[in-house]
Amino acid sequence: MQDILFPVPRSCRFYQRHFDFSSAQWIHIDPAFSPVLKSQVIDFAHRASPAFVAALTVSAGPPQHGRLFLKMTLATRGIPAQGYELTADEDGVMLNAGDEAGAFYGLATLRQLLDHYGVCMPRFRIADHPDYPQRSVMLDISRCKVPTMESLKSYIDLMARLKINQLQLRTEHTFAFSAHEVVWRNASPMTAAEIIELDAYCRQRHIELVPHLSSFSHFQRWLQHPEYYHLAEVPGGSVPRPNRNTLNLLQSLYSEFLPNFSSTLFNVACDEANELGTGWSKKLCAQKGQTRVYLDFLLKIHRLVKKHQRRMMFWGDIILHQPDLIAQLPRDITALNWGYESDHPFNRQAPLFARSGIPFYVCPGTSSWQSITGRAPNCLGNLANAARNGLKHGADGYFITDWGDFGHHQLQPISYLGIAAGAAYSWSFKSNRDADIIAALNRLVFRDSTGATAQLLYDLGSVYQLLPNQPQNRTVFYTALFWDMENPDNVLAGNSAQALKKCARRFDDLQSQLSSLRPQSADASLIKDELSTAIAMASHGTNRLLSALGQGPTRSSLRHDLQAIIARYETLWLQRNRPGGLRESAGQLYGLLAPLMD
């Protein structure tokens, strides 16, 4: 039933006989349900009631009069964690779940059935539970773009519909530490009160808000200030020194940051610490080796995290430089095995953690960053590759990353394909590997019955394939957009002007299709504006390159085009995000005007 349910359940059967439940009045629940689950059932009843003759009533006691629509119970055995069984017959719908999370997911499935069938439903039997117990999404809130609370809650609601159960907000400098205002000033950071509020909002939707704070890399927003110069591995760098002063700072930060989260997990990041050994620790790394020095300091961070009674997670890229050291990691640590190309070697890297007994997640991405348009085929290939190899080698979790490298210029809808596909693949890969992601996006996100909105999103994310040569982890359109218009061969990457013209024509075609889109979501108008602006940005990058080759618009024309794009970009930013970071991100676009001046 791929056109009805998403993620597609592990097992479902539908029969010809239908039942009219329009006169049903009751939802009967177990009195032992938690207050959170009871409120979720009441919310379901409220949303479903308009389809029935009379409003549905929730009762923990067995109704003595009136027809039953739904009975909910928790199984004592036989149903896996987060799993549920959902059946319908002439007596009503029965939802039996392995736990309260399973009951929540069963309600989500029933909501989709009601959306499709209404109250005249077929007899059916669904048995479902996830492949991966932990299905996570990371939103990057440290590359200029910090979403508003309204935007974050909307995203969390989407994740809940997709049965995602973990969220991480990548934090480098965007938390309002009380003693470090110089670091986060003008960034519109998350506050402790907002984290507490968001944590509760997540918990009500069976999502764990996992703290994520860069601890041994990507520290440039700190190290650029005189107060922290003494911590830098190299002046102006991004890696702090692996010493006691850094540990003291981390201890202070963890003490203020972690208590705002109810999760017992903590992602300390520590990715891409490639500057290590190039400055303060050069002699030490020459003696021991860079990866050994990295591991020694990682173990000190681990001890610090244990003092805060958290289980540590970290990005596994540096330890993979010397795989024989993986076995020396503590067994109460979780490694995050990341890679973002469709052919990333998860098949070779995942077994290295598995054989050493180190719990790990596979971590693909949305392929949205440094793309403007997205890279849809690469995105789906990367997500499927991770899901397949994670299952094969026993990964504990599946982690969809949505980065914002170098100014976070991609607009939010560009990431939706990867979020939805990753949610489905991590729920049940066998059932969803051929799922119609486009149809699901139209139904669950855009609410476009014509199917055109998600199709345009996918088509936009596929334009890069018109170019025979493509760089990794970005598109040529992105590179050309932020190019100084000198030495075009460096940007062309072996692609011809003729191929670029095909892309330009395709962008014009997609722009012309926007008027026919019919999304009905609450942010429908905004989504159309965002897609239009993404197309305009990618088209502008393409035309910059063509212009430099003498086969595109004049520089004067490009200047007026870019000025209009910047105005739209700044307006759209504030529809979903806080003002902090906008000046920096838009400033990169303003800088592109210089080569276009007469």
What the chain holds in terms of domains, given with CATH numbers, is 11-128 (3.30.379.10), 134-366+378-400+423-429 (3.20.20.80), 452-596 (1.20.120.670)
Quote the tokens at residue 2.
Answer: 């791929």
Cα–Cα nearest to 76, from 145, 30, 124: 30
Which residue intervals of 58-121 are DSSP H helices?
100-117
Query: What pLDDT sits at residue 254?
Result: 98
Query: What pLDDT sits at residue 2?
Result: 53
- CA quadruple 519, 520, 525, 530: dihedral sign: negative
Query: What pLDDT sits at residue 475?
Result: 97
Query: What pLDDT sits at residue 596?
Result: 92
Q: List phi, psi (to 5°) of 551.
A: -130, 25
Give percent above pLDDT 70 in the chain. Answer: 99
Quote the tokens at residue 200.
Answer: 């509760």
Q: List phi, psi (to 5°) of 502.
A: -60, -40
What is the DSSP-derived secondary structure letter of residue 273?
A: -
Cα–Cα nearest to 586, from 525, 533, 507, 535: 533
Q: List phi, psi (to 5°) of 384.
A: -70, -40
Query: What pLDDT sits at residue 176?
Result: 98
pLDDT, one tens digit for every residue, the chain (598 residues): 557 999 999 999 999 999 999 999 999 999 999 999 999 999 999 999 999 999 999 999 999 999 999 999 999 899 999 999 999 999 999 999 999 999 999 999 999 999 999 999 999 999 999 999 999 999 999 999 999 999 999 999 999 999 999 999 999 999 999 999 999 999 999 999 999 999 999 999 999 999 999 999 999 999 999 999 999 999 999 999 999 999 999 999 999 999 999 999 999 999 999 999 999 999 999 999 999 999 999 999 999 999 999 999 999 999 999 999 999 999 999 999 999 999 999 999 999 999 999 999 999 999 999 999 999 999 999 999 999 999 999 999 999 999 999 999 999 999 999 999 999 999 999 999 999 999 999 999 999 999 999 999 999 999 999 999 999 999 999 999 999 998 888 888 899 999 999 999 999 999 999 999 999 999 999 999 999 999 999 999 999 999 999 999 999 999 999 999 999 999 999 999 999 999 999 999 999 999 998 6
